[in-house]
Structure 1
Amino acid sequence: MNKEKSFIHLPPFGLGFVSLGIQIVFIRLLLEIFQGNELSVGLVLSVWLIGSALGAAVFQPLLKKLDLSSALPVILFPILLTDYFLIKITPHLFGLLPGAQLNLESMVWVSLGTIIPAALLMGALFPCLVELQSASKISKSKNITEIYQWESMGAFAAGLLLNFILFSVLNSFQIVILCLMVFYLFLPGNLIGQFTILKKVNRLRIIYLFFCIILLLSGPVLVNYFHAHIYKPYLILSEKDTPYGNLKVTRLEKQLVLFSQGKVLYSTPDPFSAESRTLLPLLLHPAPRHILILGGNLVGYLPYLEHIPSVTQIVYVEIDPTLVEFQRKLIDSTEFRTGLKLEFVVSDIRKFLTLGTEKYDLICLNQPEASTLNLNRLYSQTFVRLVKQRLKTGGIYFFTIRSSENYLNADLAQYINILKNTVESVFTSVFIVPGDENHFLASDTNYFTDILSRYSEKLKTYHLRPTYFVPAYLNFRLSGERVRSFAEQLSRQPVTGLNTDFNLKAYLYHFRVWNRVYGLRTKHVFNFLNKYKFWLIIGSLLLLFITKIVLWRRSTMRLLMRLSIIGGISVALEIIFMLEYQVLFGTLYSRIAIIFSLYMIGLASGTAIINKLNLKKVKDSYFRIVTIGLIFCAILFIPLIIFEWQIISNSVLYQTMQWIILPLIIFLIGLFTGNYFSLITAAFYAGNKISAAGLTYGADLAGAVIFSFLSSLVLIPIFGVTGSLFFVIVLLIFVML
């Protein structure tokens, strides 16, 4: 009997493994297409949950009615492979060159088209497993919670392996194949012998495993061949999935172009960018000695830095060691003059500024704009304060954003204004050089009153002869008419407040700028939501209150509604957790697997605890206790927001938060969610012996669908992280009452 039981646990474990493994791989692939936009994680998650809910509540009962349940394991293999390659060719299907950005509408359609088929099958397999084991003497509610528990444990195992081993040694295609192998291996012959529904697929399963081995071994060759055809006119020289994103080194004619998460980092050689991002701050400072360069194409900057005799140290910071190694190889053949010290630091930029003490004369930020939460944290007030702490007296801070040569539309002007307000809140002297790129110069010493004459004079002093950023060009950029026009256009679109890590204003204004370019309908929707946001919240709460009254006498429907809300809130908290983690530490891409696995082991532990208690009757007080636990988890986020500066300023607290407190919070969210699911399932099936096996699972997923979608595309973009968190707390109190 024990042996039989152990085999019974293998299929849900395998399902959990393949489900989370595929989910994380697809999220990472779509993050590359969506250029690292973290809110797309919530979008992809909501689409995955839509498919899972439909699979559990609709697709599986339909297959059962048609006597086709045995087809599920059969079609899983071709469907997942098709989905993988469909994601890969998405930019090609949209006619996009590498580095081009999708608008929000396209992101939604891409997610639906690529994720739904796989998620539909995963969702249908859960109630299928429940039906397979329905012959046992275990009650249906306990059977469901046990499968839920073992599925969560399989997901936990997948998360651990992905985070610590697989992402380091295999590419995404090989990981998909490996997940499929685990799934088919965990349908052993003993189990097939017990359940006649699986006898039909035994031979095909063995064939699939054989093909999996072939594809696993040939994965790199197949992926390289595939990329060679879909990335034309770029020639891909190398590609690597690093812990920080997908990195591609490509060649276009005589230029090397680097892409990270689908976004162009820089190209080389590129003398115009090198001159415009180096010479201004370098020549305006009286005598720079120590220079901090935060990312970018260092090899392009060195020819100009070498001409400045006062420079003795250059520190280059980049989080991805692969990019650092790339720069080292480019610089190897360069001869430096005696006394010039070049230091490479592999670190998150904010972590480096937080934990270090050395001060610099110039700090140059060479990163893409605030198009993601990870990048927004490099343009927040907290970041600017960190920069100021690391500047010497009279030091200069410099960064560049894309703009428009002559005309600023409303969204672009507001985006520039929010960045300007943020920098001005920290530095006493801020100047913007207008043009198709806006160069921000900030200092507590006013170097910016006579830029052109100082620039021209220093060029002669240091015998520098730029090719593009010559005095005549700078004179054109700084003409009185141009500077006045730029200032007037900004003044016509004033914005209040500053860009912070958690209100995400720079990110949201940047989002509006590019959605204005790619899709005006989306912009109008967001403007409407922003205008009536508080009425929408009140209306939502009123609708839930009316629904609760209507369902007051229908206990089973009320249970399903409560489960949907709690399941949704749990996913919303998970999304908020991931965003807070990204804001504080900037390593979500490399930690997403372990975050998901901690949440899943929390779910498994929560269901196991309720099963062990073997409750005779589920009381309302049990639900309230678990809900209070979730409220406690939500409240724990608030100090992270209020005391963010104190956290990142204290190295011990910073490390404790990253490795102990936040992992504990995500585990507790999963734990209380697992508790609630088990309690609802026990109460629901106690009075509904003949109900379909996937009802509570489907209700849980339905709530998760709604909340993950709303959190990513409405709540967080409109209210920010803080406002979304308070809304979640209000909902939890509503459920508890």
Structure 2
Amino acid sequence: MALPAPPPARTAQERRLFIFAFLAVGFGEIISQVLLIRELIINFQGNELSLGVILANWLLMTALGSWGLGRFADRLPPRVPIFVITLILFYLILPAQLLLARTINNLIGMEPGEIVGFVPIFYSSFLVLAPLCLLHGFQFALGCRILAVGTETPATQVGKIYISEATGCVAGGILFTYLMVHHLQPFEIAAGAGLLNLIAAILLLKPWAVAWRPGKDVALEFLVSSMVIVALALGIYSVASGTIDSLHEVSRGWQWTGYNLVHHQDSVYGNIAVTQSDGQSNFYVSGLLMFTAPDPDIAFIEEVTHFPLLYHPSPQRVLLIGGGVGGVLNEILKHPVTKVVYVELDPIIIQVAREHSLTRALDDPRLRIELTDGRLFVSHTQEKYDVIIVNLSPPSTLQLNRAYTQEFFRKVHNILSPGGILSFGLPWSETYVSQEMISHNRCIYEAVKKVFPGVSIIPGERSIFLASADPAALTNALETIYYRFQDRDLATRLLTVPYIQYKLSPERIERLLAPLRAGDPVETNQDLRPIGTYHNLALWNVMFYPGSRGFFNWISRMQLWWFLIPVGLLLTVPISINWRRVSSRPMLLPVVLAIMTTGFAGMTFSLISFLAFQTLHGYLYQKIGILVAAFMLGLAFGGLSMNHIMNKLRRDILALGKIELAISGYAFLLPLILILLFAHLDKLPPFIPAEVPLSLLNWGAGFLVGLEFPLANKIYLGSKSGVGRVAGTLYASDLCGAIVGAVLTSVFLIPILGISKTCLVIAMFKIASLVVLITVTACPRKQTKGA
């Protein structure tokens, strides 16, 4: 019986069309990732734990799709229609999962603004992300299988898919950040990404683009072509008729089921929603209740405002960072101030406050509103202020932590007038103070003490920290505070002379602050070691899950030498396996380990660049897209460069070892470069913003990571394994390393160890994988009988 003819090789034109299809796949991947993560953040309040869990689920499901479903790619005939069906599925699944992301809180019985634990975050994000991620992982393996048909260089074809996907991610990230998010609704953006995939499907289905086989493939061609045409027609109709806009409105209503939603709006920074109940307006930002009006939390507002202003003899110029429209501005303007500068990042918050008349202070002639990042404003203003009030949430994220570090307090010190006062608040308790709460407040207390000689604390459910370069400014007698309160004739509802006497009683303050002053020494909260974020994470998790106390206490003592244990296992296990394997089997395990540790390194380098950018330049959401694009562009250039030289290499293992060594060297150099950049940022020419050097650093990291993947595929394919299986396995290994990097780095390594030691962890793992690579290559291997 004659053997079946091998499938025909793809023509150059067919390959170019398939490369374009994977550009569309990469574009759709980054769009779907950003859309779904933004929606989930609204439900989970977006701290590093929730983001780490969401991102880890995304990478895990994509890895399973690539590794698990990728094994089926080699068993399937290399038919383009199967790939086209995956493009159609993407178009159908993305809107459905976006709708699920908006309504998942109702399905699991979670109220808006509710603090969500680890388990609900995990299974909710799993349900939302799994279909798309499994599909994308399978697309990668199947695409590599199709493009490699009939070629003598399958590794080069895998590299082309890798490069095309990365390039599509770059284009999608830039367009989303700078264009789509400003002008389109989420469902419109999803429809656009889906239509691009359908256009790619149509191009692949052209008769001259695909070598169809006779017989049953004719029916398959007709069926798939009909599906694409119907899907494309429905997509165009939904956009043209406004059905997409209706779905956006209806789904927002479902998301807020049980609430009278009177306003909702997406901005580049999050989602703003306003609900009403019995004449009370509730203002939510990304699902978190920020304030209510016209009856806000008056105790909090009056204390956070009046105490720092009463400690100053004549507060003329006041700077307020965040949280002004909830009533704080109204209280500030009751004092005889001449100028108030209110810094708010999101202009939509001011707009919605005006539309709903949430505060009358916005039209006061003494007020100037600055729409920028608070830390960025403090770093660049030339004005001096008598009182600076930081009214931000506690440091639950790396972004917020920037307003509670030693370096930030030093910048504030530079813009305070003589005798000026800084004020900020942190959670405390008048009944029971846990060790986690003590550590949380103590690390920030130590940071502010290193800058300001005078520091006082007014304890309460939210303690008010007061700091001044002049210690005498904070030693006013109670009678002086009473006199100023009465002399300024402040119309307050809670704050009275007896209440002030109660809050400022020396006996009360001494009793409530005794645990803070007697607590164990802790690390100072710093820009490059944001330990405050970790202690905040521990505080809230232990509060809701007391059983986690032991874990958080143990992990808070993390030291660099701890990582010698996993590094030792990484060295010994593969080498011991190598001694027992037969010589006829390829050397695959060291390659998988190299790719896995490179995935970890790439994710960690990106997170470090994000933190450095936030610290140096201020959080401007749009510009973070530049850093992502820079890494993906470096990834594409690295893959393209390796594809160009890969078939000319004589010793592939030696080349892979050199890349491993280069990544290790980069890990050693990165902290030194960042330290120099931090020290000399002011010396950069004004036309070179901070994102330029950081983007170059991220591009370099992406370039090194991109060099390794095509070469690893070439080595692995030497085993004569199927292209789909090999590409899927290595892609999954890369993603698994990135999973560990996403969670471990953002939640634990950077906050506890700091950036410098985190880079040393990367170097340790890369050196270990290099040693395994060299050792397994050099060591003699067990021979099989008859070999």
TM-score, normalisation: structure 1: 0.92
Q: What are the Cα deviations for residues 528-566 of structure 1, in whole angstroms up to 9, with x where unaligned? A: 334465564121010011134135575233222222222
Is the aligned partner of 1:17 residue 2:48?
Answer: no
User: How many angstroms does 1:219 deviate by?
Assistant: 2.9
Is the aligned partner of 1:570 residue 2:602?
Answer: yes
Residues 411, 578 of structure 1: CA spacing in aligned structure 2 closer, same or farther, 3 A cutoff? same
Residues 621, 126 of structure 1: CA spacing in aligned structure 2 closer, same or farther, 3 A cutoff? same
**Aligned-partner SS, 1:465:** coil
**Which range is displaced more, 16-25 or 239-248?**
239-248
In the alignment, what sits opposite 2:650? Answer: 617
Residues 653, 351 of structure 1: CA spacing in aligned structure 2 closer, same or farther, 3 A cutoff? farther
**Aligned-partner SS, 1:293:** strand
Is the aligned partner of 1:160 residue 2:174?
Answer: yes
Question: C-alpha distance in 2, partners of 1:589/1:261?
Answer: 14
**Which range is displaced more, 283-292 or 323-332?**
323-332
**Which range is displaced more, 134-143 or 6-15?**
134-143
Question: C-alpha distance in 1, partners of 2:291/2:134?
Answer: 40
Question: C-alpha distance in 2, partners of 1:42/1:195?
Answer: 44
User: How many angstroms does 1:299 deviate by?
Assistant: 7.2
Conservation of the 8 A alpha-carbon contact between 1:373 and 1:583: no
One-letter amino acid of the structure 2 residue matched with residue 537 of structure 1: F
Is the aligned partner of 1:110 residue 2:124?
Answer: yes
Is the aligned partner of 1:257 residue 2:282?
Answer: yes
In the alignment, what sits opposite 1:374? Answer: 399
Question: C-alpha distance in 1, partners of 2:293/2:673?
Answer: 40
Question: C-alpha distance in 2, partners of 1:639/1:304?
Answer: 46
**2:549 aligned residue (523, 526, 531):** 523
Give runs of aligned pairs for residues 114-153 of structure 1, distance below 5 A: 114-137=128-151, 139-153=153-167
In the alignment, what sits opposite 2:670? Answer: 637
User: How many angstroms does 1:481 deviate by?
Assistant: 4.0
One-letter amino acid of the structure 2 residue matched with residue 404 of structure 1: S
**Aligned-partner SS, 1:278:** helix
Residues 574, 422 of structure 1: CA spacing in aligned structure 2 closer, same or farther, 3 A cutoff? same
User: How many angstroms does 1:654 deviate by?
Assistant: 8.7
Is the aligned partner of 1:8 residue 2:24?
Answer: no
**Aligned-partner SS, 1:96:** coil
Question: C-alpha distance in 1, partners of 2:630/2:38?
Answer: 18
Q: How many residues align?
A: 733
**1:90 aligned residue (68, 91, 104):** 104
In the alignment, what sits opposite 2:758? Answer: 724
Q: What are the Cα deviations for residues 653-679 of structure 1, in whole angstroms up to 9, with x where unaligned? A: 797462311111111211111111111
In the alignment, what sits opposite 2:437? Answer: 412
User: How many angstroms does 1:645 deviate by?
Assistant: 5.4
**Aligned-partner SS, 1:188:** helix
Give runs of aligned pairs for residues 163-242 of structure 1, distance below 5 A: 163-191=177-205, 193=207, 194=210, 199=221, 200-216=223-239, 217-242=242-267
**Aligned-partner SS, 2:648:** coil
Is the aligned partner of 1:278 residue 2:283?
Answer: no
**Which range is displaced more, 82-91 or 651-660?**
651-660
**Aligned-partner SS, 2:495:** coil
User: How many angstroms does 1:315 deviate by?
Assistant: 1.0
Question: C-alpha distance in 1, partners of 2:508/2:91?
Answer: 60
In the alignment, what sits opposite 1:466? Answer: 492
Q: What are the Cα deviations for residues 145-193 of structure 1, in whole angstroms up to 9, with x where unaligned? A: 1111111111111112111111111122222222111112111245454
In the alignment, what sits opposite 2:4? Answer: none
| Structure 2: gaps (5+ residues) | 1-10, 580-585, 772-787
Is the aligned partner of 1:697 residue 2:731?
Answer: yes
One-letter amino acid of the structure 2 residue matched with residue 498 of structure 1: T
**Aligned-partner SS, 1:277:** helix
**Aligned-partner SS, 2:302:** helix
Residues 468, 233 of structure 1: CA spacing in aligned structure 2 closer, same or farther, 3 A cutoff? farther
Residues 172, 635 of structure 1: CA spacing in aligned structure 2 closer, same or farther, 3 A cutoff? farther
**Aligned-partner SS, 2:369:** strand
Conservation of the 8 A alpha-carbon contact between 1:295 and 1:316: yes
Is the aligned partner of 1:248 residue 2:273?
Answer: yes
User: How many angstroms does 1:389 deviate by?
Assistant: 0.6
Give runs of aligned pairs for residues 38-53 of structure 1, distance below 5 A: 38=48, 40-53=50-63
Is the aligned partner of 1:540 residue 2:599?
Answer: no
**Which range is displaced more, 15-24 or 406-415?**
406-415
Residues 213, 411 of structure 1: CA spacing in aligned structure 2 closer, same or farther, 3 A cutoff? same
Is the aligned partner of 1:514 residue 2:540?
Answer: yes
User: How many angstroms does 1:364 deviate by?
Assistant: 0.7
User: How many angstroms does 1:385 deviate by?
Assistant: 0.8
In the alignment, what sits opposite 1:584? Answer: 616
User: How many angstroms does 1:371 deviate by?
Assistant: 0.8
In the alignment, what sits opposite 1:294? Answer: 321
| Structure 1: gaps (5+ residues) | none
Is the aligned partner of 1:34 residue 2:44?
Answer: yes
User: How many angstroms does 1:491 deviate by?
Assistant: 3.3
Conservation of the 8 A alpha-carbon contact between 1:430 and 1:441: yes
Larger Rg: 2
**Which range is displaced more, 556-565 or 582-591?**
582-591
Conservation of the 8 A alpha-carbon contact between 1:431 and 1:448: yes
Conservation of the 8 A alpha-carbon contact between 1:11 and 1:186: yes
**2:630 aligned residue (598, 617, 627):** 598
Question: C-alpha distance in 2, partners of 1:57/1:333?
Answer: 58
User: How many angstroms does 1:395 deviate by?
Assistant: 0.3
Q: What are the Cα deviations for residues 296-333 of structure 1, in whole angstroms up to 9, with x where unaligned? A: 12573454444433x21111111222224445664996
Q: What are the Cα deviations for residues 364-416 of structure 1, in whole angstroms up to 9, with x where unaligned? A: 11111111111111011111111111100000111122322332122112222
User: How many angstroms does 1:586 deviate by?
Assistant: 4.0
**Aligned-partner SS, 1:239:** strand
Conservation of the 8 A alpha-carbon contact between 1:72 and 1:121: yes
Is the aligned partner of 1:486 residue 2:512?
Answer: yes
**Aligned-partner SS, 1:89:** helix
Residues 630, 191 of structure 1: CA spacing in aligned structure 2 closer, same or farther, 3 A cutoff? farther
Question: C-alpha distance in 2, partners of 1:513/1:9?
Answer: 49
Residues 588, 52 of structure 1: CA spacing in aligned structure 2 closer, same or farther, 3 A cutoff? farther
User: How many angstroms does 1:39 deviate by?
Assistant: 5.1
Q: What are the Cα deviations for residues 435-473 of structure 1, in whole angstroms up to 9, with x where unaligned? A: 122111111232333454223212221222311121222
Question: C-alpha distance in 2, partners of 1:303/1:517?
Answer: 33
One-letter amino acid of the structure 2 residue matched with residue 504 of structure 1: P
In the alignment, what sits opposite 2:8? Answer: none
Conservation of the 8 A alpha-carbon contact between 1:434 and 1:483: yes
Conservation of the 8 A alpha-carbon contact between 1:256 and 1:267: yes
Conservation of the 8 A alpha-carbon contact between 2:25 and 2:197: yes
Conservation of the 8 A alpha-carbon contact between 1:581 and 1:588: no
Is the aligned partner of 1:667 residue 2:699?
Answer: yes
**Aligned-partner SS, 2:327:** helix
Q: What are the Cα deviations for residues 682-726 of structure 1, in whole angstroms up to 9, with x where unaligned? A: 222244264534233333333333433433444335434332222
In the alignment, what sits opposite 1:400? Answer: 425
Question: C-alpha distance in 2, partners of 1:332/1:511?
Answer: 32
TM-score, normalisation: structure 2: 0.86
Question: C-alpha distance in 1, partners of 2:558/2:666?
Answer: 29
Question: C-alpha distance in 2, partners of 1:79/1:538?
Answer: 44
In the alignment, what sits opposite 2:66? Answer: 56
In the alignment, what sits opposite 1:364? Answer: 389
**Aligned-partner SS, 1:186:** helix
Residues 643, 486 of structure 1: CA spacing in aligned structure 2 closer, same or farther, 3 A cutoff? farther
Aligned residues: percent identity? 25
Q: What are the Cα deviations for residues 36-66 of structure 1, in whole angstroms up to 9, with x where unaligned? A: 3245444333322211221122124347658
